[in-house]
Amino acid sequence: MESPRPGFDFTFAMRQLCDDMAERLPELNHIDMRRVAISVSQTRQDVSHGMYASLTPLRFESGEKRKTIRGVDWEVPPLLDDQGIEYLYLLSFYLPRFQNTSLEEKLATVVHELWHIGPGFDGDLRRHAGRYYAHGPSQRDYDAHVARLAQAWLVRNPPAHLYEFLSLDFSELIAEYGQVFGSRWPAPQLVRC
């Protein structure tokens, strides 16, 4: 399905890529991308350091909708698609920074964020044992694991059109398509119940 708007629809392309990764990689089969909002955010400065992408869980631990913190009940307001179906996660990509990395780094970044999605697919993160629950005791081991998963996806021969755009940097993407656009979702803020 083509985007009706001229230019390159980044969120549409990322959704197709993530759908395929979730289908081809058994380690990601628990992910239903229909319940994951994809967003683009513009970075303030065009520098190579900083965040490339992020995954925001839209529920608390174990998929709970509410959490009591210091005696106050909090919740994350629901993020809904056009049909009123609630998203469980918000996957954001920071442009142009993300697009200005290598193809391998981009694929590893996508898998890195998808791997954060908990195996219960309940709106919570994958929680590792110990103090560093998001990445486990070793960020290096986490990064090596997701890089291996990204390579495993490539070995499964996904259609090249799904990831060819990742071989371009941001200025090359603009030169190729004229403009880059995508969905923008606000960062969710906790609200008192």
Residue 42: what residue type?
Q
Helix (H) / strand (E) element for 80: namely none
Residue 51 or residue 33, greater confidence: 33
Stretch 30-46: mean pLDDT, rounded?
Answer: 88
- Does 117 reside within a domain? yes
Q: Please give the Cα distance from 127 to 132 (Å, whole number).
A: 9
Q: How far apart are the first and last CA of the chain?
A: 40
Residue 108: what residue type?
A
The number of domains in the chain is 1
With H, G, I as helix, E, B as strand and everything else as coil, classify residue 57: strand
pLDDT at 46 over 70: no
Structural contact between residues 121 and 63, judged by C-beta atoms closer than 8 angstroms:
no
pLDDT at 49 over 90: no
Mean pLDDT, rounded, of the chain: 91
80 exposure class (CB count in 10 Å sphere: 0-12, 13-18, 19+): exposed
Helices (H), the chain: 10-24, 103-115, 139-155, 170-177
Percent over 70 (pLDDT), the chain: 92
Stretch 4-14: mean pLDDT, rounded?
Answer: 90
When computed from its CA atoms, the radius of gyration of the chain, rounded to whole angstroms, is: 17
- Does 2 reside within a domain? no
pLDDT digits (tens, 9 = 90+) for 52-110: 999 999 999 888 899 898 999 999 999 999 999 999 999 999 999 999 999 999 999 99
For the question of whether the overall pTM of this predicted structure is more than 0.95, the answer is no
Q: So what's the pLDDT on residue 24?
A: 97
- Does 136 reside within a domain? yes
Domain range for 61 is 8-192
- Does 127 reside within a domain? yes
Q: So what's the pLDDT on residue 47?
A: 56
Reading the block at residue 60, the tokens are 């608390």
pLDDT at 119 over 90: yes
- Does 84 reside within a domain? yes
Residue 187 or residue 129, greater confidence: 187
pLDDT at 43 over 90: no
- Does 1 reside within a domain? no
- Does 156 reside within a domain? yes
- Does 3 reside within a domain? no
Q: Please give the Cα distance from 45 to 190 (Å, whole number).
A: 27
Q: So what's the pLDDT on residue 1?
A: 52
Residue 40: what residue type?
V
